[in-house]
């Protein structure tokens, strides 16, 4: 006996569109040899002096994933770990000159993907979607809820 749905399946709509957007982003960034995580680290490390832990929090990455990401950036010559100028006990992720150039290009790519997607719902509908998503992200869906059985994040 099937249940009848009384509300739109918001979970499916958000999950599906988020997944497809991530795949588009991954394909676009792969053309310049980056992952979305690498892009995230480069862009946020350029903003100000940040540790791996701070960058992991911004990018919603666990410690292991962050270490692997920074290792990949170092191997590519895009970033390096350095002592902090503010706290000699801390190490920061510093973006190299080459990394800053790649970050500029990756930001153009990311902006382009977002622009293409939003162009598919041009005009007031696109603007309304952005406003609504921002309200959800800053309000009702701003923070995860603790539960005995935590929700698994989508595998990337």
Of 14, 26, 5, 34, nearest in space to 106 by CA:
34
Tokens of 42: 């480069």
In-domain check, residue 144? no
With tokens 């701003």, the residue in question is 142
- Does residue 33 lie in a domain region? yes
Which residues neighbour 139 within 8 Å (Cβ) at sequence distance 6 or greater?
none
Which range marks the domain in which residue 75 is found?
Answer: 21-138
* Predicted model pTM: 0.86
Q: Is residue 5 one of the residues assigned to a domain?
A: no
**Residue 153: its pLDDT value, please?**
58
| Residue in the block written with tokens 């290009």 | 105
Residues of the chain with pLDDT under 70: 150-156
The pLDDT of residue 156: 45
CATH assignment at residue 77: 1.10.10.10
Is 151 part of a structural domain of the chain?
no
Q: How many separate domains does the chain show?
A: 1
Q: Is residue 79 part of a domain?
A: yes
In contact, 46 and 95? CB cutoff 8 Å: yes
Q: Is residue 150 part of a domain?
A: no
Any domain includes 147: no
**pLDDT at residue number 60:** 92
On whether residue 149 sits in a domain, the answer given is no
């Amino acid at each position: 006996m099937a249940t009848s749905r009384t509300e739109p399946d918001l979970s499916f709509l958000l999950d599906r569109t988020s997944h497809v957007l991530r795949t588009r982003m991954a394909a676009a960034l792969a053309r310049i040899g980056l992952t979305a995580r690498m892009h995230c680290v480069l862009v946020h490390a350029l903003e100000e002096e940040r540790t791996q832990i701070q960058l992991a929090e911004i990018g919603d990455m666990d410690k292991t994933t962050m270490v692997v990401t920074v290792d990949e950036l170092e191997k590519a010559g895009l970033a390096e770990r350095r002592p902090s100028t503010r706290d000699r006990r801390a190490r920061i992720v510093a973006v190299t000159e080459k990394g800053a150039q790649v970050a500029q290009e990756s930001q153009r790519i990311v902006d382009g993907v977002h622009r293409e997607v939003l162009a598919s719902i041009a005009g007031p509908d696109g603007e309304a979607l952005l406003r609504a998503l921002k309200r959800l992200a800053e309000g009702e869906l701003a923070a995860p809820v603790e539960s005995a059985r935590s929700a698994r994040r989508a595998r990337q």
